[in-house]
Amino acid sequence: MAQNKPRPGLDLERDTLLEMYRRMLTIRAFEETVFDVYRKGWMPGLAHLSDGQEATAVGACMPLRTDDTITSTHRGHGHIIAKGGRVEPMMAEVMGKVTGYCRGKGGEMHIADVSLGILGANGIVGGGLGIAAGSAFTAKREGKGRVSVAFFGDGAINQGIWYETANIAVLWKLPLIYVCENNQYTEFTNSKKLISGEGLVARARVMGMKGVEVDGNDVLAVYHAMQELVDGARKGEGPATLVCHTFRYGGHHSGEPGTAYRPKEEIESWKKRDPIPLFEAKLVEQKIITPQDVESIHDEVDKRLQSSVEVARQDPFPNVSEVTEHVYS
């Protein structure tokens, strides 16, 4: 294996780069495994998968400390893994088992791990934004330099809560970074048809905050842009928005293929810029990892995912007697 030294163009420690790579692979494997679990009828309901968007999740979370918080969306598996969430209780939660992160009562759209600063995925579009603003307010009052990150989709920019929280975050200089995953679609509609004016970055700027856009399939581009915004927020510069241009490969949810409303050429052209091989090629080219390392990390990740399903399949469902426990209403 290569030395743990910074490389030109990849000016991060080798361990950090490897961890980024491992987390991206874990997200891809998790999403593919959940799709399989769905098709086999081993989970209730539908899954909202994020394969294709791994670079955005990992690039945005890697500059964060464990005590920084994130709020996620209905398409949240990637964010949770990127922030350090464990796939075993995630898989159990997807399958409704008592060993899941929410004791099987949250399901795939409501996974949280407060000990890792993961304040929850959220089935309500824009639902995480208010929670993130509250967390940013707490972070500011604490004065320990923590930041709060709100992931949201391109469709969610049209939710009223985005403007309400952006307004107060700018006025109060809250350490809040909005990360917009622009996967081009709001359910079954191209978002260009739904967003007025000059688009996502302009919306951020008009609210009085910094707006930056990056190639959301380039994990290093996302990482470096995010690092700068996080540094600024820690120093008291207030909120900012990072727009990451990316694409989801599958349907809006696991019950539809995503091909009826998206041209085949559009899907193909995004797949040619798959974030995982893009990053992998850079790592191999710069001799940060060898092709043998690639194979063994793939293997390690696949085995972990397989075992998470086998274990979760054997785990029990929650007991009916606890149906009213651990819930707020």
Q: C-alpha distances in angstroms, 51 versus 6, 29, 70, 126, 318?
A: 29, 9, 19, 21, 29
Q: Kindly give the pairing relationship between strand 176-182 and strand 148-153.
A: parallel
Asked whether position 258 contacts ligand TPP by CB under 6 A, the answer is no
Q: Which of 63, 153, 175, 318 binds Mg ion (CB under 5 A)?
A: 153
Nearer to Mg ion, 104 or 275 (CB): 275
Asked whether position 153 contacts ligand TPP by CB under 6 A, the answer is yes
Asked whether position 183 contacts Mg ion by CB under 5 A, the answer is yes
Q: How many residues bind ligand TPP (CB under 6 A)?
A: 15
Asked whether position 154 contacts Mg ion by CB under 5 A, the answer is yes
Q: C-alpha distances in angstroms, 278 versus 84, 119, 284, 291?
A: 22, 30, 10, 14
Per CB under 5 A, the segment of 112-120, 147-155, 237-245, 257-265 that binds Mg ion is 147-155
Task: Give, in degrees to the nearest 5, the angle at Cα 174 between 173 and 178.
Answer: 115
For residue 81, the minimal CB distance to ligand TPP (Å) is: 16
CA distance 283 to 265: 28
Task: For 129-143, give the DSSP string.
Answer: HHHHHHHHHHHHHHT
Please identify the residue of the shown chain whose CB is closest to the bound ligand TPP. Answer: 153
Residue list 119-138, contact with ligand TPP (CB under 6 A): 123-125
For residue 156, the minimal CB distance to ligand TPP (Å) is: 4
Q: C-alpha distances in angstroms, 232 versus 27, 147, 224?
A: 28, 10, 13
Residue 152 amino acid letter: F
Listed in sequence order, the residues at least 6 apart from 122 whose beta carbon sits closer than 8 Å to its beta carbon are 71, 72, 73, 74, 76, 109, 110, 128, 131
Asked whether position 246 contacts ligand TPP by CB under 6 A, the answer is no
Residue list 33-72, contact with Mg ion (CB under 5 A): none
Listed in sequence order, the residues at least 6 apart from 309 whose beta carbon sits closer than 8 Å to its beta carbon are 33, 37, 42, 91
Nearer to ligand TPP, 18 or 131 (CB): 131
Per CB under 5 A, the segment of 104-112, 149-157, 205-213, 235-243 that binds Mg ion is 149-157
Asked whether position 51 contacts ligand TPP by CB under 6 A, the answer is no
Q: Residue 120's binding partner, choosing from ligand TPP, Mg ion, none, with beta-carbon cut-off 5 to 8 A by kind?
A: none
**Site of interaction with ligand TPP (CB under 6 A):** 73-75, 123-125, 153-156, 183, 185-187, 252
